[in-house]
Amino acid sequence: MDWLYCQGEPRYKDDFVETLVKSRPSYAARYADAQQVRARQVYFQALEDAIGEMRREGCARRRIRVRITAQVREEAAKPGETIRVHLPLPVGGAQVERVRMLSMRPACGVVGAQDSPLRTVFFEKPYAPGDVFSLEYEYDIVQRYVEPRVEQVLSEQPDLYLQEQPPHIAFTPFIRSLAQQIVGEETNPLSKARRIYDYLTQKVTYSYVRPYMTYTNLPEAMLLSGKGDCGLYALSFITLCRCAGVAARWQSGMAAGPFSVSSHDWAQFYAAPYGWLFADCSFGGAAWREGALKRWDFYFGNLDPFRLPAASAFQQPLRPAMRFLRNDPYDNQTGDAEFESGRVEAEDWLVERELLSIETLAAP
């Protein structure tokens, strides 16, 4: 239960109950909200089904349709003042094969380049009372199954994505010491990454956390406390991998399906001849806690097809850049907005993300 003192009194994070249910199977079994318990069970069964499909067929293909709607809370609106809005859009490449815009409101949105590391649709207009900004689009995602083997990994690996990226991806004395403890004398990059994945999924507990802006170093915050959310898992994995000489990078956006849309972050690491492989320590940790070892093993090297990747790098600028501090300077999963005179605060930015449909596509 994450808490802090505020004027001498303890204040608990508002979603600590969700953290307990999500991270402790014994609490989940006692949860009084039967509908939520059932939804969780159905969700994990859908993941198991998709993972089984990938293992049988070699990949899973989905066409996913999403709607994102956002508006400024009436009390915070500034009629007549120019408003600038960024809403997330799937990045090109990676596992996304096609993005098709179905509707845009208002029609003045500018679609970001496919190769943008943080892709959005940008709106700029004089604000009118009741303005709503929305996107509806569908995209095809192809998630291929890989069973990487240590003995097939090449000795020559590319020299990329190994650098620090302060303030969060930083090789502090603590990070260097921990990376050395985890990987030991191992030299194979796949084995190094696996040891780091095993450590994070087994030793760190999932927990909803405070806004990232309140932390000076996100991986250290997780690794010293033993708890954190999906973004901290991904950053800790990337930082430890790079510190150990394994190329690693960020990918994030949303878990889009099988029944809902929610923000999510994960990582990639490189091992030739396989290329970029996935690591989702958050989903992997959930599988480990539940004793679902096949699913735990799957999320080292693979991802399920229920994803909407909207960023391929961490802490990237929006284009065009915002003039004021973003609500999320590291990502853009729920959009961001600002007026000429200042930003729209998170509590004044009302966002709804809807999963409209998921269609299974046949192999080409």
- DSSP notation for 230-264: HHHHHHHHHHHHHHTT--EEEEEEEEE-SS-EEEE
According to the model, what pLDDT value does residue 334 have?
Answer: 95
C-alpha 192/C-alpha 184 separation (Å) is 9
Each residue's pLDDT tens digit, 159-168: 999 999 999 9
- Tell me which residue has tokens 């959930």: 286
pLDDT digits (tens, 9 = 90+) for 61-110: 999 999 999 999 999 999 999 999 999 999 987 799 999 999 999 999 99
Average pLDDT over residues 129-136: 97
- Predicted local confidence at residue 44, as pLDDT: 86
Kindly indicate the confidence band of residue 187, based on its pLDDT and cuts at 50, 70 and 90.
very high
The angle subtended at Cα 150 by Cα 264 and Cα 288, nearest 5°, is: 40
Average pLDDT score over residue span 195-216: 94
Stretch 138-150: mean pLDDT: 96
Q: In this structure, what token pair is assigned to residue 174? A: 């603590």
Q: What is the pLDDT of residue 22?
A: 83
What residues have CB less than 8 Å from 32, skipping those under 6 apart?
none
- C-alpha dihedral (227, 228, 230, 235), degrees to nearest 10: -100
Is the pLDDT at 353 greater than 80? The verdict is yes
Average pLDDT, the chain: 94
CA distance 314 to 235: 9
Whether 113 contacts 333, CB under 8 Å: no
Is the bond preceding 258 in cis, omega lying within 30 degrees of 0?
yes
Handedness of CA 287, 249, 148, 180 (dihedral sign): negative
Confidence band, pLDDT 50/70/90 cuts, at residue 149: very high
Q: Which of 51, 50, 114, 112 is CA-nearest to residue 87? A: 112
Mapping DSSP to helix (H, G, I), strand (E, B) and coil, where does residue 103 land?
strand
Average pLDDT over residues 292-302: 97
The pTM of this model reads: 0.94
Residue 3: its pLDDT value, please?
Answer: 83
Give which of 225, 232, 226 is closest to 211, Cα–Cα: 232
Pairing of strands 349-360, 59-72: antiparallel
Q: Mutual orientation of helices 173-183 and 218-225 as an angle, nearest 10°?
A: 60
With bands split at pLDDT 50, 70 and 90, how would you rate the model's confidence at 48?
very high
Task: Give me the pLDDT at residue 192, please.
Answer: 98
Question: What pLDDT is recorded for position 38?
Answer: 80
Q: What is the dihedral of CA 88, 89, 93, 95, to 10 degrees?
A: 90
pLDDT value for 260:
86
Residues ≥6 apart with Cβ < 8 Å to 86: 120, 121, 122, 123, 318, 322, 332, 335, 336, 337
Token representation of residue 108 = 């003045």
pLDDT value of residue 222: 97
Q: How far is C-alpha 45 from the chain's CA centre?
A: 21
pLDDT band at 155 (very low <50, low <70, confident <90, very high): confident
| Site of tokens 């030793």 | 203
Alpha helices per DSSP H over the chain: 16-23, 25-28, 34-57, 173-183, 189-203, 218-225, 230-243, 281-290, 293-298
CA distances to 11, 113, 118, 310 from 92, in Å: 42, 8, 10, 9
Dump pLDDT digits (tens) for 227-277: 999 999 999 999 999 999 999 999 999 999 888 899 999 999 999 999 999
As a whole number of angstroms, the distance between CA 240 and CA 174 comes to 11
The mean per-residue pLDDT over the stretch 287-309 comes to 95
Q: Does the structure show a pLDDT above 80 at 148?
A: yes
pLDDT higher than threshold 90 for residue 25:
no
Give yes or no for residue 363 having a pLDDT over 80: no
pLDDT computed for residue 40 by the predictor: 79
Q: Do the Cβ atoms of 337 and 76 come closer than 8 Å?
A: no
Q: What is the pLDDT of residue 35?
A: 81
Tokens 């089984």 belong to: 52
Q: Does residue 281 contact residue 237 with C-beta atoms inside 8 Å?
A: yes
Q: Which of 327, 332, 358 is nearest to 140 (CA)?
A: 358
